[in-house]
Amino acid sequence: MKRVLSGIQPSGQLHVGNFAGAIRQFVEMQRDHEMYVFVASYHALTSTRDPRKLSENIRQVVIDYIAFGLDPAPGKVNIYLQHDVPEVTELCWLLSCVCPKHMMDKATSFKDKVSKGLQASIGLYVYPILQAADILSVDPDLVPVGSDQVQHVEITRDLAMKFNHYFGETFKVPAHKLREEAGTLPGVDGQKMSKSYGNTIDPFMAEKPLRKRIMSIVTDSTPVEDPKDPTQCTVFQIFRGLAGANDPRTAELEQRYRAGGMGYGDAKKALFELILEEFGSARRKRVELMNDPGYIETVLRHGAAAARAKAREVTDRARKACGL
């Protein structure tokens, strides 16, 4: 059974784009993979200065992961917080000592922020090294990523191989598993769905504000009676991303677009009904989890214990290899 590692920053409420782009695949992979999924609390400190909000976001991500279908039962998915596995920060230092500066100069996470004229900390500069430590700490075989995150796995592989070159075979060199790009959904404004753009759709919203949010999706001015190209419509792209390209509901909606006589309001209604249907059980599960904080603490305690046990093995190996 292959071991898989993934993480997410607690930057706010998870949305349908997170589900389609990553979480749905994690739910599928948990059937036949050993899963380690962490909340990147240390990484979040590169951008947040609100302790209360960070704490709330961390807990909410864990709740949403489980509501979406990740199973934290023993032997299934180990869900844990990054700061509950301190071995990761020690590995980060060991890896930083073999990391050439030019490797960090090329890292997109730092370059993108600087290019936008935003303040960037040393923490953001060395972000890829900490991410490499996260990955290598549990000896994973696979790291599922979107295309924009492939560089981080490549840096991880490079650092592992550099360490192994200097000190002997110590780290397993993981491979990346590219997530399906069909899972990248547009937001209500047509741009990539992202919390930073404020254009997300939260599937856990109450029905009335959820309907209002979906009705706000930007569309063109094609008359109701005219045929429409579904591939150019944000509403259809979100629908297809959630239902699936081969789902009969997707084919039916596509036919209605191309036939004419359907307004965008009808398409938005179809998307609203799809979200209620697809996330009905998740919405109910989330309410239960919100009212059971003790269960969430138990999940995190067990997840951290499993991750720390593995991380201690890896850290001890790395210490011994470099003479500590």
The fold for domain 205-278 equals Tyrosyl-Transfer RNA Synthetase (1.10.240)
Nearest Cα residue to 266 out of 275, 277, 253 = 253
Q: Are 19 and 180 in contact (CB under 8 A)?
A: no
3-state SS, residue 8: strand
How far is Cα 84 from Cα 86, in angstroms, rounded to an integer? 6
pTM score? 0.91
Please give the positions annotated as active site. Answer: 113, 192, 195
Digits of tens for pLDDT over the chain (324 positions)?
899 999 999 988 899 999 988 899 899 999 999 999 999 999 999 888 999 999 999 999 999 999 999 999 988 999 999 999 999 999 999 999 999 999 998 888 788 777 877 678 899 999 999 999 999 999 999 999 877 788 889 999 999 999 999 999 999 999 988 766 555 799 999 998 988 789 999 999 999 999 999 999 999 999 999 999 999 999 999 999 999 999 999 999 999 999 999 999 999 999 999 999 999 999 999 999 999 999 999 999 999 999 999 999 999 999 999 999
Q: Are 10 and 35 in contact (CB under 8 A)?
A: no
How far is Cα 199 from Cα 189, in angstroms, rounded to an integer? 6
DSSP-derived secondary structure letter, 279: T
CATH assignment of 3-184+293-321, given 3.40.1400.10, 3.40.50.620, 3.40.50.300, 3.20.10.10? 3.40.50.620
Token pair 């295309």 is at which residue?
A: 147
User: 36 has which bridge partners?
Assistant: 5, 78
Mode of pairing for the β-strands spanning 142-145 and 175-178: parallel
Are both 3-184+293-321 and 205-278 of the same fold?
no
Residue extents of the structural domains in the chain: 3-184+293-321, 205-278
